[in-house]
Amino acid sequence: MQNKILNHGDTETLRNKFLRAFASPWFFRILLWLAPILFLLSFFFLPLSKILFLAFNTSAFTKANFQLILSTLSFTFYQATLSTILTFVLGIPSAILFSRFDFRGKSLLRALTAVPFMLPTVVVASSFNALVGNHGLFSFFSSSFILHPSSFSLILSAHVFYNTTIVIRIVGNALSRLDPKLEQSARSLGADTFRVWKNITLPLLRPSLLAAALLVFMFDFTSFGVILLLGGSNFSTLEVEIYLRVLKLPNLPLAALLSIVQLIFTLIFSILYTRTINQVTTQTAPRFSLARPPKTIRERAFVFTVYCSLFTFFFLPLISLPIRSLTRLEADRGQRGEVQYGFTTDYYKELFINRRGSLFYVPPIQAAANSLGYASLTVFLSLALGYPAAYALAKPTRLEKFLDPLIMLPLGASAVMLGLGFIISFGRSLASPWFVPIAHTLVALPFVIRTLQPALASIPERLRQAASTLGASPFRVWQTVDFPILSRATLSAATFAFTVSLGEFGATLLLTRPEYPTIPIAIQRFLSQPGGLNFGQAMAMATLLMLLTTLAILIIEKLRLPNSGEF
Amino acid sequence: MKRITFYFLLFTLFLASCTPTPVAPQTITIMTHDSFAIGEDVIKTFEADNNAKVVFLQSGDAGAVINQAILTKDAPLADVLFGVDNTFLSRALNADIFETYPSPMLADIADEFKIDSSNRALPVDYGDVCINYDKNYFTENNLPVPLTFEDLAKPEYKDLLVVENPATSSPGLAFLLATRAHFGDGYLDYWKSLKANGAVVVDGWETAYYTNFSASSGKGAQTMVVSYASSPAAEVFFAAEPLTESPTASIVASDMCFRQIEFVGILKNGKNRDLAQKFVDFMLSQKFQEDMPLNMFVYPVNKNAKLPDVFVKFAQVAESPAALSYSEIASNRDSWIEDWTQAMK
């Protein structure tokens, strides 16, 4: 042994030199950024700038256009702010509920809150209407509770319905990561609940609160489907206006101008976020298993109230889907006034029949397999790209602070414009099925990074140092210190990526449709033609999508890795 | 031993490259909208007859498809584009994305459908956009079915109509064009009276039909919806239980419908002109035309194509659809939509 080292002394120093260069902080940083930056450059910045350069010209600078931009922008702001506040009103108590208390049906309820995130808006709207609308099964609801809500309040509640899961996941994770000793010692020093929250909990939660607020606000700011569906012709956000100016009343220069405005505002929000978050450097030792059954009457009342409101708000609209997919009301239609309801499994059976011998028929198992396949690829891709970026951003150098806000831009880019950019950049190769997970990853990546980043930043450096002083290898440090803290954030990030992909959030506007149709596409095909069977099959497919997501989320959350403790 | 295997592999590779293989089928790509559908065996027939492989590129609604075709004019994504209708035809023709192709099959098609005299866009199918109504509601309440646009603004039809936003929906635009043809410049006043009479505007056909319309499975609140004259046939064909009568019917009175005609065209700079021509001929042939109705719920333009039974019994054709020339639509479409949006705010 000794001999060998002596004999190969020269190569050894060379290797050491090489290793040192490899381990130099700069080289390491570049390595971290390489994949995410290459990805964003080729699939986001390049196509988007191509189309903006092509479409933009100064002819868009007219007074009428500026007025349009101003009024659209102010409405976009107004509804996004209101929606975000309302989402937090429901989201924060729910986050506390899930992170602090144990109760029956907890994991199912938490999984359910993530389901709306990926259901097609039109499906939820019509199934809900079929149940509680004027002629619905529970029509007494519509007369006594929901008295003709205005379309604006419908938009707001839809945003809350879709985005509460973001708050629950990001803030809830942070809450369960907090060291309970801090709160306990404050209490033993005589602080009441309010003071504990104000002085201890809230300051510690700030990074996650901000991250959640930013994501929810961005989603409401660029809201598209909800506004189009519920707003009629009266309301339009920047995203909707861009869509109209690209596809319906073609005016590409105006569309480009609108896109630039939207991008600039996205950038401003992200920069504000980065600024604020960098002022917060609190790190705490992580503890696990904070959740316990409610004890005092006050706690029980709290759990009961939040549980009930979540149940009504999420469970009832969602359960209307499976009920509707098993309900027949066809036979008596067109004969008597009162609708007769009956049980049927016809819609599910019909899913397996290609009645018209259509070329575009998709067997349900196939659609589910395609959806799951794309979703798994998206989870893999977005974690592989998001992890290194979040790691670098957790303790950013000056240059990286500049890169940080750019990560959020894909959320603020109009899907229609980016879609056009894809077409002029990739041409015929766009039909490749690989573009589907790529487009989904583009939407999921900002989530993944923003979910991992606060968790990574919260890992106390002294724990790592202590571990390595005690002789742990870098991998062992990662395994024993970083990983247990990260596994929860990673699961959350994976769930986001998974639901984003299953619901095809906005990506439908990006892509052409190659040979592997997914569940949302199958639903869309059924809903594009009249007939009870089509409607029933759409509901059945949507129910499948819902079951699949709920199951997948439950499984992801059950993947409790050793050391990660109670999730 | 290893070397022998290597040579053996090399030899088999060499053999494989030498054996005569059948001529690989040529691929032809058809760009179309998401609602396109056709029978599997129909396409198989074409593929077998022409040693071809047909690939469909479905990319959004008709508007999105035209946009993409215009943007990629120099290096087109496909050889053939199907699905431009007469309300958007001008955009495709002005951008000059189609080759001229006077197909021999045009002889079997009535002249009323041949809107583009230069034969760049050839008609394939048509459908009438009309109001559908809940038959049951009207008989039960002894309410006569409205037979003119003016009737719809009367108090007895208050809160009963749902229409699609013409800025976002293609049947919505067609209906707007029908009112424009009937009322001329006064169409905006008419729309204001419709709004005063409680007409509901929604973003697209799916919402209008499945969430708002009372006779669909969505059980909505409005008993009349802007849809297609073929929708009652689809209600029977796709009924969950066999029906002898459709729960809906169309108002096909004179002037109240707008006829949408869908066109196909060969994209300029495409790779495969010969096969593209064959495919266009095939789309206009009897086989394809007879398969279309049940797949897309549209009418064939080929005179010889026979309609399926369910169409003969339950689908209606407009008596005299709104007359609005293609050039008039081309030059005013956008300003009509803008004015409508302002008026309905």
When pLDDT is averaged across residues A356-367 and rounded to a whole number, the result is 82
In this structure, are B214 and B121 located in the same domain?
no
Question: What's the pLDDT at B289?
Answer: 96
Residue B2 lies in a domain: no
Question: What's the pLDDT at A339?
Answer: 52
Indicate the pLDDT class of residue A144, thresholds 50, 70 and 90. very low
Using alpha carbons, select from B156, B119, B105 the residue that is nearest to residue B305: B105
Residue A147 lies in a domain: yes
Q: CB–CB of B136 and A423 under 8 A?
A: no
> For A91-95, A225-229, A361-365, which range has the lowest pLDDT when averaged over its residues?
A225-229
Residue A337 has pLDDT above 50, yes or no: no
In this structure, are B326 and B243 located in the same domain?
yes
In this structure, are B116 and B186 located in the same domain?
no
In terms of residue numbers, what domain contains A428?
29-558
Chain A within 8 Å of B341 (Cβ-Cβ)?
A: yes
Q: CB–CB of B240 and A126 under 8 A?
A: no
In this structure, are B118 and B134 located in the same domain?
no
User: What's the domain count of chain B?
Assistant: 2
Nearest CB neighbour to A531, from listed B34, B61, B235: B235
Chain A residue closest in CA terms to B218: A130
Separation between Cα atoms, residue A392 and residue A397, nearest integer Å: 8
Chain B within 8 Å of A339 (Cβ-Cβ)?
A: yes
Report the 10 Å Cβ neighbour count for B8: 10
Residue A556 makes CB contacts below 8 A (sequence gap 6+) with A491, A494, A495, A498
A143-147, A242-246, A473-477, B223-227: which has the highest mean pLDDT?
A: B223-227
Residue A263 lies in a domain: yes
The shortest C-alpha distance from B92 to chain A (Å) reads 12
In this structure, are B230 and B331 located in the same domain?
yes
The shortest C-alpha distance from B300 to chain A (Å) reads 17
Rounded percentage of chain A residues whose pLDDT exceeds 90: 15
Q: CB–CB of B35 and A528 under 8 A?
A: yes
Amino acid at A432: S
Residue A467 has pLDDT above 90, yes or no: no
In this structure, are B100 and B155 located in the same domain?
no
Residue A147 has pLDDT above 60, yes or no: no
Residue B200 has pLDDT above 80, yes or no: yes
Residue A483 has pLDDT above 80, yes or no: no
Using alpha carbons, select from A488, A517, A510, A394 the residue that is nearest to residue A441: A510
Residue A5 lies in a domain: no
DSSP-assigned states of every residue in A421-444? HHHHHHGGGGGSTTHHHHHHHHHH
Chain B within 8 Å of A558 (Cβ-Cβ)?
A: no
Q: CB–CB of A358 and B40 under 8 A?
A: yes
pLDDT digits 0-9 by tens, A22-79 = 556 777 778 888 889 999 999 999 999 998 988 888 888 888 889 989 999 999 999 9
Chain B within 8 Å of A359 (Cβ-Cβ)?
A: yes
The shortest C-alpha distance from B110 to chain A (Å) reads 27
Chain A residue closest in CA terms to B69: A423
Using alpha carbons, select from A153, A550, A541 the residue that is nearest to residue A361: A541
Q: List the 133-192 stretch of A: residues with Cβ below 8 A of B.
A: 133-136
Question: What's the pLDDT at B22?
Answer: 60
Separation between Cα atoms, residue A156 and residue A85, nearest integer Å: 10
Using alpha carbons, select from B156, B109, B133, B113 the residue that is nearest to residue B326: B113
Residue B271 lies in a domain: yes
Stronger pLDDT, A276 or A103, i.e. the higher one: A103
Q: Which residues pair with B261 in a beta bridge?
A: B126
Residue A17 lies in a domain: no
Say what the pTM is: 0.81
Q: CB–CB of A430 and B334 under 8 A?
A: no
In this structure, are B111 and B15 located in the same domain?
yes
Residue linked to tokens 């066999």: B242
Q: List the 280-339 stretch of B: residues with Cβ below 8 A of A.
A: 294-295, 297, 334, 337-338
Question: What's the pLDDT at A306?
Answer: 92
Q: CB–CB of B247 and A334 under 8 A?
A: yes
| Residue A206 DSSP code | H
Q: CATH number of the domain that A539 lies in?
A: 1.10.3720.10
Stronger pLDDT, A339 or B344, i.e. the higher one: B344
Residue A24 lies in a domain: no
Q: List the 277-336 stretch of A: residues with Cβ below 8 A of B.
A: 328-331, 333-336
User: What's the domain count of chain A?
Assistant: 1
CA atoms within 13 A on the CB side of A546: 26
Residue B71 lies in a domain: yes
Chain A residue closest in CA terms to B71: A424
Instruction: Indicate the burial class of B303 (C-beta count within 10 angstroms; 0-12, 13-18, 19 or more).
Output: exposed
In this structure, are B248 and B267 located in the same domain?
no
Cα B195–Cα B199–Cα B201 angle in degrees, nearest 5? 95
Residue A265 lies in a domain: yes
Handedness of CA A24, A25, A30, A33 (dihedral sign): positive
Query: What average pLDDT does the structure give for chain A?
Result: 79
Q: CATH number of the domain that B324 lies in?
A: 3.40.190.10
Residue B48 lies in a domain: yes
Residue B265 has pLDDT above 90, yes or no: yes
Residue B79 lies in a domain: yes
Q: CB–CB of B41 and A357 under 8 A?
A: yes
- B125 and B291 in contact (C-beta within 8 Å)? no
Question: What's the pLDDT at B148?
Answer: 93
Residue B114 lies in a domain: yes
Q: Which helix (H) or strand (E) holds B212?
A: none
pLDDT digits 0-9 by tens, A432-453 = 888 888 888 988 898 898 888 8
Residue A22 lies in a domain: no
In terms of residue numbers, what domain contains B148?
127-258+317-343
Q: What is the ipTM of this complex?
A: 0.81
In this structure, are B121 and B266 located in the same domain?
yes
In this structure, are B152 and B204 located in the same domain?
yes
Residue A18 lies in a domain: no
When pLDDT is averaged across residues A130-144 and rounded to a whole number, the result is 53
Indicate the pLDDT class of residue A565, thresholds 50, 70 and 90. very low
In this structure, are B118 and B132 located in the same domain?
no
- A346 and B240 in contact (C-beta within 8 Å)? yes
In this structure, are B167 and B78 located in the same domain?
no
